[in-house]
Amino acid sequence: MKTMWISCLLQLIIISGTIAFADNSIILDKPFETVALDIVKAMKNRKTERNYTNQIISQQHLSTLLWAAYGINRQDGKHTVPTAYGKDYIKIYVIYNEKSYKYIPEKNLLQFIQSNVATSMASTQGWVGKSRCVVVIVADVNAFPFYVGAKEEKIRLANLTAGCIAQNVYLISAALHIGTCLVAGVNETGCRKALKLNDTDIPLIVMPLGYLNSK
């Protein structure tokens, strides 16, 4: 029993209230339950921002942003956005503090992929590399029902969901005073390398995140 406990402890390193596994995966802080900004004010404040400070997004802010993007909001495991046929064909990836992760919403976990990853790898737009945190919305075309035959139709449906995700990120970012931008200039080769995507994974949208410079 003692050996088992020691083994478990060695697998976990507690850092600033968050839990990091030995493989660098991270159990994120709990998302904010409430944010002091109503939905109408958030819509009024929603806008594209491309200039950020060099400060890394806090893990609680990132946790809240990812939950809004594609988190679980019901006991039946459904998400904060609609999906066609109720299927789980969206994957959310993050390049954060020079590491890449896959977001696991069921566990509020960032599953470590690899280190030494630059945010600039995600996009063909050079300014994206100035952000220290980038969210990449990816579609797994293999996760659709068999009767959705054409790949183009699968991507069309995935883009509908990705649009809902992007708007959620915009609104929660406005509420948290964080800047973001919907970037369609995806570097597919760079994303595949940075995120170790499967052949059936299609990167759809890149969204850099950053704290805003005071004006």
- pLDDT value of residue 37: 77
Chunked into runs of 10 residues, the chain (215 residues) has average pLDDT values of 45 45 84 84 92 95 97 93 96 97 96 98 96 97 93 96 97 95 97 97 98 80
CA–CA distance, 131 with 108 (Å, rounded to integer): 23
Q: How many Cβ atoms from other residues are within 10 Å of residue 162's Cβ?
A: 23
CA–CA distance, 100 with 94 (Å, rounded to integer): 6
- pLDDT value of residue 49: 95
CA–CA distance, 131 with 154 (Å, rounded to integer): 30
CA–CA distance, 173 with 133 (Å, rounded to integer): 13
Which token pair is 53? 């400070």
